[in-house]
């Protein structure tokens, strides 16, 4: 990931979420404000990505898109709905428990920090400079009278490993904090993730909660693993972590993040299929983990 790059993986997460939530069954899982946030995000993506906003309104285009996506990487589409849906449940659980500050690493086009800013929480997003600028402009243009999250423009580099959390940031070290890493650690090496986790641990005086996704690529059949990695590479990004679920849990626990909730693709699929009537599967090897 380069500092001056618009993340296409982040853009396609927003596009897929927007496309699927044209369907009432998926739309009903989220508040109207969330649906309208992604509608605006996709409409304002740079050309030609913004064309998806127009074309995905047509049911025949959506059917074609779903068919081709399921052929290449089954479960990729529904996993987007799943991560947005279950991360909201986990964050709600934590805020009900007194957590009052939210830091979203590699926030992309996600709406959660903006959503919680409206509720009076202090929220921060971190992303590479071009993404941070795009998000800042987007929020200013579309939500001029709303509270915005504090957007930290920073490209985290493996060689220069310091997190921009120091005394110059407004992140309070003594507040009960939720760290969200949704589709973020996968793009960094094991050593880099370990360094970030250990710095987070040291920075906060109250142990922060962590909500993170994980993709255990070893659980995918070879050709789907290839599709996943190639798809990411084609848009100029790279999956670097490559940990199986036990290795990832160990990486977290070595840095004192002890997992107390783990949700796997099967239970998410069963729940969402029951709630929405969809027959789509969820990507094998996809996990959501929480530590607090
Ligand atoms: C797959 S996207 C996920 C976006 C968002 N979290 C979501 O799930 O909708 C990964 C995000 O991490 C950001 N990112 C990747 N590597 C980064 C780095 N080294 N430093 C800062 N941000 C990075 C990208 O710009 C992108 O927005």
Give the atom of ligand 1 at the shortest distance from the alpha carbon of 107.
6
E strands, the chain, in order: 101-105, 122-127, 150-153, 177-181, 209-215, 259-264, 286-291
Q: Ligand 1 centroid to 274 CA: how many Å?
A: 31
Residue 27: pLDDT band (50, 70, 90) is very high
Interval 80-99: pLDDT, tens? 999 999 999 999 999 999 99
128 close to ligand 1 (CB < 6 Angstrom) = yes
Interval 95-136: pLDDT, tens? 999 999 999 999 999 999 999 999 999 999 999 999 999 999
106 close to ligand 1 (CB < 6 Angstrom) = yes
pLDDT at 4 exceeding the cut of 90: no
Token readout for 197 is 């986790």
**First CA to last CA distance, the chain:** 29
Q: Ligand 1 centroid to 84 CA: how many Å?
A: 15
Q: Which pLDDT belongs to residue 164? A: 87
Give the atom of ligand 1 at the shortest distance from the alpha carbon of 131.
25
pLDDT at 225 exceeding the cut of 80: yes
* C-alpha to C-alpha distance for 198 and 194, rounded to whole angstroms: 6
Q: Ligand 1 centroid to 127 CA: how many Å?
A: 6
Residue with tokens 């479960």: 75
Burial (Cβ within 10 Å: 0-12, 13-18, ≥19) of residue 191: exposed
Task: Check: CB of residue 194 under 8 Å from CB of residue 255.
Answer: yes
pLDDT at 11 exceeding the cut of 90: yes
Sheet holding 101-105, edge to edge: 150-153, 122-127, 101-105, 177-181, 209-215, 286-291, 259-264
> What number is the average pLDDT over the span 236-242?
94
Q: pTM higher than 0.95, yes or no? A: yes
Return the residue whose CA atom lies nearest to atom 12 of ligand 1: 106
Interval 138-185: pLDDT, tens? 999 999 999 999 999 999 998 877 888 877 789 999 999 999 999 999
Per the prediction, the chain carries an average pLDDT of: 96
Give the atom of ligand 1 at the shortest distance from the alpha carbon of 7.
25
Q: How far is CA 236 from the centre of its chain?
A: 18
* C-alpha to C-alpha distance for 286 and 84, rounded to whole angstroms: 13
> Which one of 45, 108, 161, 188 would you pick to mutate in the ligand 1 pocket, going by the greatest count of ligand atoms within 8 A of its CB?
108
% of the chain beyond a pLDDT of 90: 93
> Which one of 17, 106, 138 would you pick to mutate in the ligand 1 pocket, going by the greatest count of ligand atoms within 8 A of its CB?
106
Return the residue whose CA atom lies nearest to atom 13 of ligand 1: 106
Q: Which pLDDT belongs to residue 217? A: 97
Q: Which of 275, 289, 288, 283 minimizes the C-alpha distance to 29?
A: 275
127 close to ligand 1 (CB < 6 Angstrom) = yes
108 close to ligand 1 (CB < 6 Angstrom) = yes
pLDDT at 233 exceeding the cut of 80: yes
155 close to ligand 1 (CB < 6 Angstrom) = yes
Q: Which pLDDT belongs to residue 165? A: 84
Domains in the chain with CATH codes: 8-291 (3.40.50.150)
């Amino acid at each position: 990931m380069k500092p001056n790059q618009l993340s296409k993986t982040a853009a396609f997460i927003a596009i897929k979420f927007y496309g699927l939530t044209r369907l009432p069954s998926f739309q009903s899982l989220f508040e109207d404000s969330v649906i309208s946030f992604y509608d605006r995000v996709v409409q304002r993506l740079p050309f030609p990505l913004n064309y998806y906003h127009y074309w995905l309104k047509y049911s025949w285009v959506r059917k074609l898109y779903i068919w081709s996506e399921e052929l290449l990487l089954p479960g990729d589409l529904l996993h987007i709905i799943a991560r947005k849906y279950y991360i909201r449940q986990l964050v709600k659980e934590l805020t009900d428990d007194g957590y009052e500050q939210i830091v979203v690493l590699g926030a992309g086009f996600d709406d959660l920090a903006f959503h919680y800013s409206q509720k009076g929480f202090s929220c921060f997003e971190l992303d590479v400079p071009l993404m941070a600028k795009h998000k800042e402009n987007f929020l200013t243009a579309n939500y001029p009278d709303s509270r915005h999250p504090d957007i930290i423009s920073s490209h985290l580099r493996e060689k220069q490993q310091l997190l921009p959390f120091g005394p110059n940031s407004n992140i309070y070290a003594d507040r009960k904090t939720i760290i969200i890493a949704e589709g973020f650690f996968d793009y960094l090496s094991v050593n880099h993730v370990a360094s970030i986790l250990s710095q987070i641990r040291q920075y906060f005086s109250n142990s922060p909660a962590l909500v993170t996704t994980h993709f255990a690529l070893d659980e995918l059949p070879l050709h789907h693993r290839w599709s996943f990695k190639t798809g990411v590479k084609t848009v100029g990004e790279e999956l670097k972590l490559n940990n199986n679920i036990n290795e990832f849990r160990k990486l977290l626990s070595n840095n004192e993040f002890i997992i107390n909730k783990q949700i796997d693709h099967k239970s998410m699929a069963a729940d969402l299929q029951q709630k929405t009537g969809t027959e789509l599967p969820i990507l094998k090897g996809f996990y959501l983990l929480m530590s607090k």
